[in-house]
Amino acid sequence: MNLRAYSPTRVLGALRRRGLAYWRKLQYQPGKKQVQKGVVLFDSFNGKVIGDNPLDIFLELQKVRPDLKFYWTIGTKTKAPVGAIGVQFESKQWLELLATAEYLVANTTLPWYFRKTSGQTYLQTWHGTPLKRLVRDIPPGSLTKSYLENMKREAAAWDYLISPSPFCTEVLPRAFGYTGKVLETGYPRNDRLKTHKAADRARIRESLGVTDSKTVLVLYAPTWRDYQRTATGNWQSVSYLEPGMALPNGIQLMFRGHTNTHKTSSFKTSGSTLDVTLYPDVTDLYIAADVLVTDFSSVMFDFSVTGKPIIFLAPDLDRYQAERGFYFDFENQAPGPILNTAEEIVETLGKLPEMAKSYQSAYKHWQVTYNGLEDGGASKRVIGAVWGSHA
pLDDT for residue 318: 92
Task: Tell me: pLDDT of 76 over 70.
Answer: yes
pLDDT band, very low/low/confident/very high, at 74 (cuts 50, 70, 90): very high
pLDDT for residue 262: 44
Query: Strand 121-124 relative to strand 101-106: parallel, antiparallel, unpaired?
Result: parallel
pLDDT for residue 261: 47
Task: Tell me: pLDDT of 33 over 60.
Answer: yes
**Range of lowest pLDDT (36-45, 106-115, 245-254, 366-375):** 245-254
pLDDT for residue 278: 87
Confirm whether 26-186+376-387 and 194-370 share one CATH topology: yes
pLDDT for residue 258: 59
pLDDT for residue 263: 46
Calculate mean pLDDT across residues 313-327: 91
Calculate mean pLDDT across residues 303-324: 94
pLDDT digits (tens, 9 = 90+) for 230-279: 545 554 566 778 777 888 899 999 999 855 444 444 445 445 789 998 89
pLDDT for residue 161: 98
pLDDT for residue 218: 96
pLDDT digits (tens, 9 = 90+) for 17-28: 556 666 676 788
Looking at CATH, the fold of the domain delimited by 194-370 is given as Rossmann fold (3.40.50)
Q: Domain extents for the chain?
A: 26-186+376-387, 194-370
Q: Does domain 26-186+376-387 have CATH number 3.40.50.10490?
A: no
Task: Tell me the whole-structure pTM to 2 decimals.
Answer: 0.86
Averaged confidence pLDDT in the chain:
89
pLDDT for residue 2: 45
